[in-house]
Amino acid sequence: MNYKKTTSRNKLSTIAFLTGLSVTCTLGQLQAAPLNLADNALEVSSAIPPNVFMLTDNSGSMDFEMTVRGTNEGAFFMPDTILYESDRRRGYIFPNGVQVLAGTSWGRFVPSEESIIAAMGIASDPFGSWRARFSGYNRQYYNPEVTYTPWYGMDNQSTPVSFGDSDPTAALYDPWLPNGDSEDLTVVLPDYTASRPTSTSNDNPVNVTVTDYYPARYYTWVDTDGDGAVDPTDAHTRVEIKPAASGGSDSYSRNAFNEATGLGRSDCGPESGGLVNCDYDKEMQNFANWFTYYRKRELAAKAAVSQSAGKSTLSRVGMATINSTSSNRIAVAAMNADISSGAKKLFLDTLFSTTPGGGTPLRSNLDRVGRYFVCGDSNDIFGGNAACPRLSGSAGSCQQNYTILMTDGFYNSTWNNTTNHDHATDSDFDGGSFEDDIVGTLADIAMNYYEHDLDGITTNNLVPVTPRDREYYRGTGALESEDTLHQHVTTYTLAYGVEGLKSAMPSDVDAVFAWPDPADGFPQKVDDLRHAAYNGRGLFMNAPNPVALRNSMSDIFKDITAGAGAASAVAFNTQNLKNNSVVFRAFFDTVDNTGDLVALPIDSATGVVDTSAGSELWSAAVQLDSKISTTADTRTIITYNDNGASSVGIPFQWSSLTTGASGQQSKLNSPAVGNYPATRTGPLGKDRLEYLRGQSQ
């Protein structure tokens, strides 16, 4: 590979003005066409689409139904006084479906506390098996304060069907396999065999028969001794999701959904005082969705990727797994919107069809993805058999390239590379807080593909800089917003359910930072993931549970979208600015297709736009939100009643729309929706209308 060892920076040749927003790196002007409505926001439509490559973990531990903090591989240990003895570890709760690690020490089931009490003839379970079914300890387990939504995509039937709510009476173990194993979550399970320790002083496993086990259950916890730890003998209460007539409850009080945190329930309502009421059907449905779509780590990962990368239409996306790569890889391609065809369906089908198994060879695979972006390397992730992902010509000169590495563990394979790429010898991008004295790390790989020119050509370095490029630059002077860089790879890392020793990135790019040696232990290897994101100018995300995983993946794609629009800066001639000048700025979230239009103040002397938090003079989103509640709104929206000579404008309200077979109400009622909740009693068209008006019921 031909690498350049000097800083590559140029100036954008075109300045963007307030009225034109003309930039160097675009795909050209959009041409108008009658009734040809765009799927994407105008401000992002013409940007060069970035390349995004997902490198996902499909090691054996991704099959776990456990994600326990601070234990080996996040497994559940019984007893938990010595965490790393193999006789103590367990990876599963439910007895049916596919257990990839069946027959190994990881493949044991955690029995119910009732079965342990009965088998040992004691008053209480000394091993704390209840904690496997409490989301505050086993963070993979059902959390009643979370809304669990289906994957984004379609199953693998000959006539594929979009994923919908799971059937509580036949909840699939794997939604990709609609004819596979399922479980009736509303009745007691057949007896099955799990294992418990012989005693609290002898951890040799012995079989125990689990009887009368009602699966739709979770626990609440009281910190009896006040130590902040979920101890085996702490007070706890079992909650079984049953109707009142069967000894359960018809009403469950939950926190209302909070968009900022992703926590709370959006499927129940109406909200009152920050709370919502979920009836039995809603609670059971939510549990069934968790069981089918989030019960295992790999299921939760597929949910996160499908709901972020899968929904993207502004990026060129590809993927590969770290094991069985040749069977689980797809080259970077432009993402169409339709999930039932084209590159989008191929990407989602590849994602959903992957299965866990094997070790965690992160370093060699991250390097192979980097080689893929270099192009023409027989040792890349496709063995040199895929086309170069970078666009040809001037478009590729401006294009940004990203790798997202997602893993639930610590790399455990060898990788023979002795180059210390982040040492202060190569460029203006390494040294300082980026460097360490260790070779062959993930951080070295990320630095290698960031600081070196992917094509080795010095005359086409037109990749727009991002705010992080500017903040982390160590060369002479500062990178300005109009500067450009060489073709490179930005690396993001996402650690799921594991923690390192470091809790923050370095605060000074020029100061030496004490990066741990990954060879010293498991937490240090997680810190290498953080270091890789720092060197690669991406983000490091640590997700302890499925909700955080989903939010983290969404945040990564939002950050990528922001980077892809880095060249769309606005410049002003300060001689033309007047006091109290403002600029209207549009924001767009490509993950959920939401946005805002805000008015920001401009310093008339310097032309600087004040984008600090709270500086907005006016926000369209705030104005609209003030007119909308969960079940009503005061917005004025007008439509048209075309009835001939007396055609008039009418309110866009259900009662005002025309009726009959060809009327507006009928048109809104079509097409029908599969798996439409039985609890929705109003016409489908009315629900659609209220959704368009902004109501969230």
User: Concatenated DSSP letters for 39-90?
Assistant: SS-HHHHTBPPPEEEEEE---GGGG-S--BTTSGGG-EESS-SSTT-GGGEE
* Chain mean position to CA 677: 26
Residue 3 lies in a domain: no
The pLDDT, as a whole number, for residue 542 is 95
The pLDDT, as a whole number, for residue 19 is 30
Quick one: which H or E segment has residue 115?
helix 113-120
Residue 91 is encoded by which pair of tokens? 């990876």
Are the C-beta atoms of residues 499 and 69 closer than 8 Å to each other? yes
Contacts of 65 (CB under 8 A, 6+ apart): 91, 92, 93, 94, 138, 140, 141, 295, 296
Q: Provide the pairing of β-strand 401-407 with 51-56.
A: parallel
Q: What is the CATH number of the domain that holds 436?
A: 3.40.50.410
**In the chain, pLDDT over 70 holds for what percent of residues?**
86
Cross-strand bridge partners of residue 583: 600
- Look at residues 252, 273, 293 and tell me which one is the last residue of a structural domain: 293
* pLDDT digit string, tens, across residues 408-421: 988 988 888 888 99
Alpha-helical segments (H) within 452-609: 467-471, 522-535, 546-564
502 and 651 both lie in a single domain: no
The pLDDT, as a whole number, for residue 593 is 66
For the chain, helix (H) and strand (E) counts, in that order, are 14, 24
**Secondary structure class of 72 (helix, strand, coil):** helix
540 and 401 both lie in a single domain: yes
* pLDDT digit string, tens, across residues 208-229: 999 999 999 999 999 999 999 9
Quick one: which H or E segment has residue 362?
helix 362-374
pTM metric for this prediction: 0.82
User: Interior CA angle at 246 toward 241 and 247, to 5°?
Assistant: 70
CA distances from 188 to 114, 166, 170, 421, 591 (A): 14, 18, 13, 58, 40
Q: Provide the pairing of β-strand 316-321 with 51-56.
A: parallel
The pLDDT, as a whole number, for residue 603 is 76
Residue 1 lies in a domain: no
- Look at residues 564, 587, 612 and tell me which one is the last residue of a structural domain: 564
CB atoms inside a 10 Å sphere around CB 575? 7
361 and 396 both lie in a single domain: yes
The pLDDT, as a whole number, for residue 369 is 99
526 and 491 both lie in a single domain: yes
Please state the φ and ψ torsions of residue 400, each to the nearest 5 degrees.
-100, 145
Walking along the chain (697 residues) 10 residues at a time, the average pLDDT comes out as: 42 34 44 47 66 97 93 86 69 81 81 95 95 98 98 95 97 96 96 87 87 97 96 97 97 93 92 95 98 98 96 94 95 95 97 95 97 97 97 92 95 86 87 95 97 93 94 91 93 96 96 96 96 98 96 94 62 52 71 75 74 81 85 88 80 92 90 71 87 83
608 and 688 both lie in a single domain: no
What helix, strand, coil percent values describe the chain, rounded to 5? Answer: 25, 20, 55
Residue 116 lies in a domain: yes
Cross-strand bridge partners of residue 17: 571
Nearest to 366 by CA among 330, 295, 426, 415: 415
Residue 245 lies in a domain: yes
75 and 104 both lie in a single domain: yes
Residue 697 lies in a domain: no
505 and 531 both lie in a single domain: yes
- Look at residues 293, 326, 344 and tell me which one is the last residue of a structural domain: 293
Boundaries of domain holding 179 = 65-293
Peptide bond into 49 cis (omega under 30): no
Residue 299 lies in a domain: no
Residue 419 lies in a domain: yes
Cross-strand bridge partners of residue 77: 89
Q: In whole angstroms, give the CA distance from residue 334 to residue 259.
A: 29
155 and 44 both lie in a single domain: no
**Amino acid letter, residue 17:** F
Residue 160 lies in a domain: yes
Residue 113 is encoded by which pair of tokens? 């506390």
The pLDDT, as a whole number, for residue 625 is 85
The number of distinct structural domains making up the chain is 4
529 and 619 both lie in a single domain: no
Are the C-beta atoms of residues 402 and 490 closer than 8 Å to each other? yes
Are the C-beta atoms of residues 66 and 139 closer than 8 Å to each other? no
173 and 255 both lie in a single domain: yes
475 and 619 both lie in a single domain: no
Q: In whole angstroms, give the CA distance from residue 536 to residue 534.
A: 5
19 and 119 both lie in a single domain: no
The pLDDT, as a whole number, for residue 272 is 92
In the block, residue with structure tokens 């394979």? 413
